[in-house]
Amino acid sequence: MRTAILRLLLALVLALALAAPVLAWESRVKSVRDGDSINVLNSEGVVVNIRLYGIDAPELKQAFGFQAKKKLSQLVSRKNVQIENVDTDRYGRTVALVRLDNGALVNEEMVRAGLAWVYTQYCLREDICASLRQAEAEAKSAGRGLWAESSPTPPWEWRREHKTEEWYKAPVRAMKTIVHKIKVIIH
């Protein structure tokens, strides 16, 4: 009898632990880098580069790149947001879900506005990615943003086509150098 009660209690504690939401942290947006990246200040006042999880917005030199940055700026500039870390990318950026105070998911708002694609290669959380795909389908069917074009070029294809150009290579080289230096210091 005692063993059965302990097992039941353990199962209940485990179920509650697994059901608990992922801890998010609040931050103030310092700047918007482009349509899918922002800089925020953490609790120690350190700038943290955030890449929005599951989406890929047009590059600034690409069609709709400026509009994507402007929309993201309208959504988050100088506002407090909730950051839910999902991953860290190869450039050392925190890949995250970003929510406004009203609970709206910024990642999804960018897709819904037709100013970002679902980044299917990296969108692996089905609970989030399903709603992102739905928002993309709605934007596409309504012809919003980049979907006003008959065949918009996804950013990952655009980057592949332009990666040999010097204006593209220099910032990527600089970011890789910074990440390498950070890794050397840590190790």
**For residue 159, what pLDDT band results from cuts at 50, 70 and 90?**
very high
The fold for domain 25-152 equals OB fold (Dihydrolipoamide Acetyltransferase, E2P) (2.40.50)
- With 0-12 / 13-18 / 19 or more C-beta atoms within 10 angstroms meaning exposed / middle / buried, residue 71 is buried
pLDDT tens track for 19-38: 444 589 999 999 999 999 99
Which of 102, 101, 122 has the alpha carbon at shortest distance from 36? 122
- Sequence ranges of the domains in the chain: 25-152
**Ramachandran angles phi, psi of 46, nearest 5°:** -90, 135
Greatest Cα pair distance, the chain, in angstroms, is 72
Task: Give the span between the Cα atoms of 117 and 56, in whole angstroms.
Answer: 5
Backbone Cα Rg of the chain: 19
**Ramachandran angles phi, psi of 103, nearest 5°:** 95, -10
Active site residue 59: yes
Active site residue 2: no
Task: Give the span between the Cα atoms of 29 and 83, in whole angstroms.
Answer: 10
Active site residue 159: no
pLDDT tens track for 58-110: 999 999 999 999 999 999 999 999 999 999 999 999 999 999 999 999 999 99
Q: Which of 59, 108, 109, 136 is catalytic?
A: 59
**For residue 166, what pLDDT band results from cuts at 50, 70 and 90?**
low
Q: Which of 7, 93, 112, 136 is catalytic?
A: 93
- Sign for the pseudo-dihedral over CA of 97, 122, 45, 29: negative
Predicted TM-score (pTM) of this structure: 0.78
Q: Which of 7, 44, 51, 99 is catalytic?
A: 51
Percentages helix, strand, coil for the chain (3-state, rounded to 5) are 45, 20, 30
